[in-house]
Structure 1
Amino acid sequence: MIEIGSFIKLQRQKQEMTQGDLAKGIVSLSYLSKIENKKTEASREIIQLICTRLGIQLDNELDTTIQEKCKQWYSMLFEVHDKEQIITTYREVQGLMDTNLTNNLLMFEIHKIRYYLVLGKFDNALDKINELKDVSNTFDNLHQFYWYKFRGNYSSLNGDFNEAMRLYKIAEDKISQIELEDKEIADLQYIIAVTHSKLRNTLESIDYAEKALDIYMKEYNFMRCAQSHIVLGISYRRIKMYEKAIKNYNLARHLGELNNDKQVIQLTNLNLGYLYSAKGNKKDAIHYYLEVADDLDVEMNARLTAVTALIKDYYSINNFDETKQMIDKGFELIDMDNSSEAYKSHYYVLNTFSFAINQEKSKFESIVIDEFIPYLKKHKDHANLVIYANMLGVHFEELNRYKESVKYYKLANLTYEELINI
């Protein structure tokens, strides 16, 4: 059973009531504080009066119905679902929660972190995390599993992959103490694999992706199988096992085609582009990037990622006409989406190459030195930091500004050493 004090505190805060508002005429302010903080057990009569003031039904006959609705909503947060359907079901469950004392309240509140992240409402997710910290000492092991997992999701989406990994590992430690469906275990293993990939822990990424894939294959979850194959493909590409990488990418694309999943198909194409670019085969890389950039059904971030990859490869082979066309296309896409803040790294790439190709030297130096490099350092994007530090080194060398040239070549070299040792 949920701790009644935690329940009262959450409902009071949700209704924006002060302790004084709730306690008035029922108990003293200090006594209510003790109830909320589990320092005393109030009589049933007092709890009834407090719940009545909050508009809560104490004797709840709907707990089974609420539990089933919650499970339905939770599953929506982990599979591809229409966001409007997720929001509609959320409101329905919230209405039940607002009028009934139920064992499902804490789990529902914890899942709100995931809900806000699915909707892209990061500030709301952080507010919910901070709100739940006040009652987190009442969480059992199952609550804690999701509590740490969803906080890991928040950290990951904010680019703090080290913190995300720390939280995911705490969640993983809880698995032996709770009963979970295999698909829940696989989901955590998959996101740990992705996080290891972000941190360039290649062997660990392969290990966790294979664990997740083994479960997804048994569950016949082809979409998740495809995503696991993509993670494996990325890992094998990084250690230059190109044939294994291509095999995993082809498996991912085949599964995407079976499910008619455009996102998986084009994510595979994007990664095939990276592979062929890494091998020096710019022609094939450009072919795969164009598949993604020209697909109107693919999410905007994937299209912009393909466009910026095309800019880099066209520029590297001195095809400046195509470079300019892709720069224009990138700015057009960002303008269409009207949320350039969400695509800040793409915005920096577009401006960097625009200034470089138009010989706007002072603007090029300003954006790369003052904005782009600090941004890459902050987000620990070592791979791109090597690219743009080198680009600055070449730029200053061509201007015979050798002291500055050496400075950025040195930064590129040190970053590369750090990258290969991660």
Structure 2
Amino acid sequence: MKIGERIRFYRHQQNMTQEELANGIISVSYLSKIENNQSLPSEEVIELLCNRLNILLVDETEPNLLDDLKDWYKSIVNQEKDKAVSEYARLKEAVDQRNDSTSMIHFLLFELRYHLLNRDLGSAQKQIKRIEEISTLLTDELLYYFFKFQGLHAYLRSQYSSAYDKYKKAEGFLASNVFEKWEEADLYYSIALTSSRLWKVSICLRYTNQALAIYQAVYNFKRSAECQLLLGISFQRSGEWKKAEESLLLTSKIAETLNDSNLRGMVHHNLGYLFSLQEKSEQAIEHYLKSIEYREQKDYTRKLHSIFSLVMEYYKTKNYELAKGWVKQALYILAEMEEDLVEYEYHFKTYQYLLSDPQSEEFECFLKEKVIPYFSEHNMFEYLATYAEILATYYENSYRYKLSSHYFRVSNDALRNIYKLI
């Protein structure tokens, strides 16, 4: 990093204005030129500026520290949470002591990914803003990480279109940089997962197969299983049920071998969905219940997803009392959580109305003003189609045919978007 860039970087880190740094040394306009590498100052000026910032004249990057930071990042990607947590304080202290801008920028980026591992989205958002202030200092390699991590941040906030765009920007830096194969695979898997959320089935299949080829080559069985799971979901959506079941059963075998309860939960959930698509409700319910059983105690999001699928299946088969019981349990979980999960709040409150007061004006307003706009904004077409049809039927039963026709069109347009993406 050039000296002017280093000065700007550390000034930002210390929340110092140009006026405060330049005072008594040089003019503000001259400092601006130095920071933008438009002027090369004398050694005396550089030394005075560095002394005020309490940094060294030379950026003494220590390869060992940078290697340690990259090892830490790999443990984060591999979800080795205990190792990631134990290394965090040590590396933060080491970076602070060195005053090395290269290590500091790497740490800021990997710290962002660390916050995302811990699902601390508030801290992650603040970190993104800090990094944006120094984004002009980022090399192509660092921009790759920044776009990738912003993609994950958007994904965790259910902003799937934004996540997909960020991941694709990160992919644009792959060709100009040399990354290890596991890093490439992680990006491909992230794009595939986001594509699945957006019902971009053909894109999901392509990127999943790219990731799977790498994971199989390096004998990463867990990630290979997660890829097989994604393939199963994609085959479900394209109506290739036999292929879907084959992929899911293969995932199940790997999950048994690894004794991975979370993976078992995901397999049972998707087998439940597969049987639901085939109108085999009894088998679907059996797998959804197993999925909930295998979900880890604090894995609330995935547990809620399985509970929601179970509620829909019970509702479809007119087991209303069982559906009510699970809705009540889900709303209790949501009330106890610190994190707001708007998507699931809307899902379960919708079914709470359907199971108790489906013709109320309050339900009409809830669907029209909150639920449908939310799923439309997030391009979640499957749910948009379902809830728009429910509202259309509500208006039809109330003899308000103009509004009914409008929401049937909204539902049909959402379905067309799904089939177009497939």
- TM-score by length of structure 2 reads 0.91
| Aligned equivalent of 1:300 | 300
Q: Distance in 1 between matches of 2:27 and 2:67?
A: 38
Answer yes or no: is the 8 Å Cα contact 1:292–1:302 preserved in 2: no
| Aligned equivalent of 1:344 | 342
Answer yes or no: is the 8 Å Cα contact 1:141–1:174 preserved in 2: yes
Larger displacement relative to structure 2 (300-309 or 142-151): 142-151
Report how many aligned residue pairs link the two structures: 418
Q: Note the 1:158-197 alignment, pairs <5 A.
A: 158-197=157-196
Q: Distance in 2 between matches of 1:21 and 1:135?
A: 19
Answer yes or no: is the 8 Å Cα contact 1:6–1:135 preserved in 2: no
Q: Distance in 1 between matches of 2:64 and 2:189?
A: 31
Cα pair distance change 1:79/1:161, threshold 3 Å: same
Structure 2 letter corresponding to 1:41: L
The offset of 1:209, in angstroms, is 0.5
Q: Distance in 2 between matches of 1:15 and 1:164?
A: 31
Answer yes or no: is the 8 Å Cα contact 2:161–2:379 preserved in 1: no
The 3-state SS of whatever aligns with 1:174 is: coil
Cα pair distance change 1:21/1:157, threshold 3 Å: same
Cα pair distance change 1:93/1:19, threshold 3 Å: farther
Q: Note the 1:279-318 alignment, pairs <5 A.
A: 279-295=278-294, 297-298=296-297, 299-318=299-318
Q: Note the 1:13-52 alignment, pairs <5 A.
A: 13-52=12-51
Larger displacement relative to structure 2 (148-157 or 386-395): 148-157
The offset of 1:151, in angstroms, is 2.6
| Aligned equivalent of 1:234 | 233
Cα pair distance change 1:106/1:274, threshold 3 Å: same
| Aligned equivalent of 1:392 | 391
| Aligned equivalent of 2:212 | 213
Answer yes or no: is the 8 Å Cα contact 2:144–2:174 preserved in 1: yes
Cα pair distance change 1:359/1:171, threshold 3 Å: closer
Cα pair distance change 1:370/1:247, threshold 3 Å: same
| Aligned equivalent of 1:98 | 96
Cα pair distance change 1:153/1:190, threshold 3 Å: same
Q: Note the 1:106-255 alignment, pairs <5 A.
A: 106-255=105-254
Q: Distance in 2 between matches of 1:417 and 1:236?
A: 18
Structure 2 letter corresponding to 1:334: L
Answer yes or no: is the 8 Å Cα contact 1:393–1:405 preserved in 2: yes
Q: Distance in 2 between matches of 1:420 and 1:296?
A: 31
The offset of 1:296, in angstroms, is 5.9
Cα pair distance change 1:297/1:166, threshold 3 Å: closer
The answer as to 2:381 corresponding to 1:382 is yes
User: What does the per-residue CA deviation read over 1:4-46, in whole Å, with 9 as the maximum and x for residues that have no partner?
Assistant: 3333223222222222332333333222222222222233443
Q: Distance in 1 between matches of 2:13 and 2:367?
A: 45
Structure 1 letter corresponding to 2:315: Y
The offset of 1:264, in angstroms, is 1.4
| Aligned equivalent of 1:364 | 363
Answer yes or no: is the 8 Å Cα contact 1:58–1:101 preserved in 2: no
Answer yes or no: is the 8 Å Cα contact 2:198–2:380 preserved in 1: no
Answer yes or no: is the 8 Å Cα contact 1:63–1:103 preserved in 2: no
Cα pair distance change 1:297/1:199, threshold 3 Å: closer
Answer yes or no: is the 8 Å Cα contact 2:267–2:291 preserved in 1: no
Structure 2 letter corresponding to 1:212: A
In structure 1, the gaps of 5 or more residues are none
The 3-state SS of whatever aligns with 1:251 is: helix
Larger displacement relative to structure 2 (52-61 or 148-157): 52-61
The offset of 1:279, in angstroms, is 1.2
Answer yes or no: is the 8 Å Cα contact 1:383–1:416 preserved in 2: yes
The offset of 1:123, in angstroms, is 4.0
Q: Distance in 1 between matches of 2:315 and 2:160?
A: 31
Structure 1 letter corresponding to 2:93: G
The offset of 1:289, in angstroms, is 1.1
Q: Distance in 2 between matches of 1:57 and 1:388?
A: 61
Answer yes or no: is the 8 Å Cα contact 1:229–1:251 preserved in 2: yes
Q: Distance in 1 between matches of 2:20 and 2:85?
A: 31
The answer as to 2:254 corresponding to 1:269 is no
The offset of 1:365, in angstroms, is 1.4
User: What does the per-residue CA deviation read over 1:130-150, in whole Å, with 9 as the maximum and x for residues that have no partner?
Assistant: 433343334333223223222
The answer as to 2:360 corresponding to 1:354 is no
The 3-state SS of whatever aligns with 1:117 is: helix
Structure 2 letter corresponding to 1:347: E
| Aligned equivalent of 1:329 | 329
The offset of 1:410, in angstroms, is 2.4
Q: Distance in 2 between matches of 1:312 and 1:305?
A: 11
User: What does the per-residue CA deviation read over 1:87-115, in whole Å, with 9 as the maximum and x for residues that have no partner?
Assistant: 45233323233332253333333333323
Answer yes or no: is the 8 Å Cα contact 2:161–2:378 preserved in 1: no
Cα pair distance change 1:307/1:232, threshold 3 Å: same
Q: Distance in 2 between matches of 1:56 and 1:10?
A: 11
Q: Distance in 2 between matches of 1:418 and 1:192?
A: 19
Answer yes or no: is the 8 Å Cα contact 1:34–1:40 preserved in 2: yes
- TM-score by length of structure 1 reads 0.91
Structure 1 letter corresponding to 2:198: L
Larger displacement relative to structure 2 (140-149 or 271-280): 140-149
Q: Distance in 1 between matches of 2:385 and 2:12?
A: 48
Answer yes or no: is the 8 Å Cα contact 1:3–1:138 preserved in 2: no
Structure 1 letter corresponding to 2:95: M
Structure 1 letter corresponding to 2:331: F
